Structure 1
Amino acid sequence: MTRIRRRWMTAFVLALMTAACEASQEVDEEEEVARITRAPTPASEFIPVELEATVDNLVARINENELQPMQMIVLLKNLGAFFTPIATGASRAMGELGVTGNVLGPTEQSDDSSSTQELQNKQMAEATANGARGIGVSPFNDVNAAAIDEASAMGVHVVTFDTDLASSKRSIYVGMLNRSAGETAGKTLLDMLPPPPGTVMIHGNVGADWVDGYERTQGAQGVLAAAGYTPLVSQVYFFGGGDAEDVAWMKSQMDAADPPVVGILGLFNLSYRCAMAAEAVGKPELPVVAFDFDPKTVDYMRQGRIKATHIQRQYYEGYLVPYILYGINSIGLDATKAILAPQMFDEARFNIGVDVVPGDKVDAYNDFLDSIGATQ
């Protein structure tokens, strides 16, 4: 081999080695790029597959870009009872995202909510001033609208959850849609009723001043009326005489119902009173369908007196909020909404849905909640 050829071969080999090293370095750099990795969700028949798929799709789209540090805050009405699974979900999501932020709320719920409302407004203003790029908040009412609007004007996207505030400039609402949830509960009871005619007692809300309760009641009434039944709404009593007064009022309405009551539907956490009312009129065999997961409701389900209940997905509600906020900051609001489309009810509302739990699967559902750290 001539000296010139040897030199050419040497140069060629060196070029290949250099290219190989550069390619290897590029692969190493790609491997070192941070990616969002979700913790695996334990297998269960109660896993909301459609929500899981939506989160996975959002993560995949975010991971197409280089991850950016982000500061956010999630504000709850309180940190106990109903909101505990929400706090668990939000904290877990923020940990997976690696964002800087906190899940905040009072540990005790005061009878006077004005102090908590003022605290929320102050926390939103402070978070915005300190560089937060996203805020999740469970607002009380219009008193929180100005603080949300001020954050929005500063370029901070706000996601409401649990309670919507459509009059504000929030970007998206995440939570159960009450009219849709009422319709779902009505359909669950329909499968257990004899053919119409018949009256269905609804333990609901008749006043439009409480919008969420009214919407849920209207949804159930519509489904039952369309099926040929006569809906009869008994106003739920959250205060006052407690179980005894509420059950006595339901009994008086059921005794006077024409046509006779053929089923009872409870739409709030006091649904166990529906089973008590059935016993009070001497008809414990009446099919009863409930809402939420109060311990008394669970007891009646174990006895076979409540046939099913409907449970809000608080854990997923909390879990989705940080992911949506991060998505908006990373890929933009419109791109995020496009990925959320399967559960978007309209331009701005994401419907989290409800879990329908049959009476004979109470323990299985409890096991599911335990597995995700969202025991109620």
Structure 2
Amino acid sequence: MRVMGRCRMAVFGLTLMTAACGSSESIGEGEKVALLTRAPTPANEFTPVELEATIDNLVAEMNENPIQPMHMAILLKTMTGFFAPVATGANRAMGELGVTGNVFAPAGQSNDGGESQDIQTEQIKEMVASGAEGIGVAPFGDGQKEAIEEAVASGVHVVTLDTDVAADKRVLYVGTLNGAAGATAATTLLEDLPPPPGTVMIHGHTVEGWADGIDRTVGARQVLESAGYKVLATQAIFAGDDQFDLDWMKPQFEAADPPVVGMVGLFNISYRCAMLAELVGKPELPVVAFDFDPKTVEFMRKGRIKATHTQRQYYEGYIAPYIIYGIKIIGLDATKQILSPLMMGDASRVNIGVDVVPGDKVDEYYAFLDKIGASE
């Protein structure tokens, strides 16, 4: 491997070289094959049962074949905040698989700066040149398309995480499918809404240019409209402070006809829906949120937010190395077949889903994250 210092890479953990095979099985007279063994996942009400079962099925199929050495890399946008649990999961999986590999991110850069994009592009090229057979990458955007395409053309299995690129530029995508996530949030809200007629306000994304935000908003809208509600989708204002966004939402709320009977927020600032309900003198309105911002947690503890929906970053990082290794051991088609319960009819995107956290289960969810090492 070439020296990576000139790329200013941040390396998470040590290179993983030791196989984590916990048993062996006879496959012929006098011949034994090492078996992959996953570390036990703590049983909990928040454990994603289908996701866990799918990974187990993938391991079982791989164990029908001789285990082979592999060099892979996971390239993230950063090692902190949202991506810290992703790194934890990826490192754990690579340790269990016994592959050679690291988790990298541009050192000392922001999540979306141009310099970070350039560094990540160089990282992809460096990993290909160093002999990586598989790469998991959370791309910054279109800037990584060419490097990913070149990697795939050279025979490297590239899986995108969190952010996708064009389907023909990578093998698979692993992450939250935003349309499904929005639909899940709307379905959670339905449990607390009065019967129609009524308007439901979505604190979402309505402006062209951010496909993921629009997909999440459309997913929520479709569920609510199908249930008979009128939908008022208001653009979440990320650039301003809380009050700026509230001043934007308040007149829309007050002009709604029929009146607003509930609100769903789809991003980390969705606690503002609860703030708006208090501002207009209707704190009893049912509100569901997205992500686990401290302000969201505060409103959940007060009973002002019924539930929130969190992305499974740990599992995003954990399943990616298993998928990459599965493609090497049993092939892409067989790997896709096992992953099909998570693909929702889309043969190129693996949906890790979201956790639905009720307002009275905050402490239990924190405990679950601590158990699997997924706290940010």
Asked whether the two chains share a fold, i.e. TM above 0.5, the reply is yes
Give, in whole Å, the separation in 2 of the partners of 1:357 and 1:76: 26
Shift of 1:239: 1.3
For 2:160, the equivalent position in structure 1 comes to: 160
Give, in whole Å, the separation in 2 of the partners of 1:65 and 1:370: 34
For 1:231, the equivalent position in structure 2 comes to: 231
For 2:14, the equivalent position in structure 1 comes to: none
Give, in whole Å, the separation in 2 of the partners of 1:112 and 1:314: 18
Equivalent residue letter for 2:267:
F
Shift of 1:112: 5.4
For 1:250, the equivalent position in structure 2 comes to: 249
For 1:311, the equivalent position in structure 2 comes to: 310
Equivalent residue letter for 1:101:
G
Please give the per-residue CA displacement for 1:311-330, whole angstroms capped at 9, x wherever unaligned.
Answer: 11111111000000000011
Equivalent residue letter for 2:160:
T
Structural mapping, 1:253-268, within 5 Å: 253-268=252-267
Deviates more, 1:160-169 or 1:177-186: 160-169
Give, in whole Å, the separation in 1 of the partners of 2:226 and 2:28: 63
Please give the per-residue CA displacement for 1:80-117, whole angstroms capped at 9, x wherever unaligned.
Answer: 11111111100100110111111111354527521111
Equivalent residue letter for 1:232:
L
Residues 108/206 of structure 1: CA separation in 2 closer, same or farther (3 Å cut) = farther
Give, in whole Å, the separation in 2 of the partners of 1:262 and 1:307: 14
Give, in whole Å, the separation in 2 of the partners of 1:109 and 1:142: 18
Shift of 1:47: 0.5
**SS of match in other structure, 2:231:** strand
For 1:364, the equivalent position in structure 2 comes to: 364
Structural mapping, 1:266-281, within 5 Å: 266-281=265-280
Structural mapping, 1:1-376, within 5 Å: 29-30=31-32, 33-106=33-106, 108-110=108-110, 113-240=113-240, 242-345=241-344, 346-376=346-376
Give, in whole Å, the separation in 1 of the partners of 2:237 and 2:287: 18
Asked whether the equivalents of residues 145 and 167 of structure 1 are also in contact (C-alpha less than 8 Å), the reply is no
Shift of 1:167: 4.6
Asked whether the equivalents of residues 141 and 165 of structure 1 are also in contact (C-alpha less than 8 Å), the reply is yes
Structure number, greater radius of gyration = 1
Residues 29/279 of structure 1: CA separation in 2 closer, same or farther (3 Å cut) = same
* Higher strand fraction (1 or 2): 2
Give, in whole Å, the separation in 2 of the partners of 1:175 and 1:100: 23
Please give the per-residue CA displacement for 1:137-158, whole angstroms capped at 9, x wherever unaligned.
Answer: 0112221111011001110010
Which residues of structure 2 form unaligned runs of 5+? 1-25
Give, in whole Å, the separation in 2 of the partners of 1:109 and 1:253: 38
**SS of match in other structure, 1:34:** strand
Residues 276/307 of structure 1: CA separation in 2 closer, same or farther (3 Å cut) = same
Asked whether the equivalents of residues 106 and 120 of structure 2 are also in contact (C-alpha less than 8 Å), the reply is no
Give, in whole Å, the separation in 1 of the partners of 2:27 and 2:213: 60
Asked whether the equivalents of residues 77 and 138 of structure 2 are also in contact (C-alpha less than 8 Å), the reply is yes
Residues 112/328 of structure 1: CA separation in 2 closer, same or farther (3 Å cut) = closer
* Higher helix fraction (1 or 2): 1
TM-align CA RMSD: 1.6
| TM-score when normalising by structure 2 | 0.90
Query: Percent of aligned pairs with the same residue?
Result: 65
**Pairs aligned (count):** 350
For 2:5, the equivalent position in structure 1 comes to: none
Runs of 4+ in structure 1 off by over 6 angstroms are 24-28
Residues 56/138 of structure 1: CA separation in 2 closer, same or farther (3 Å cut) = same
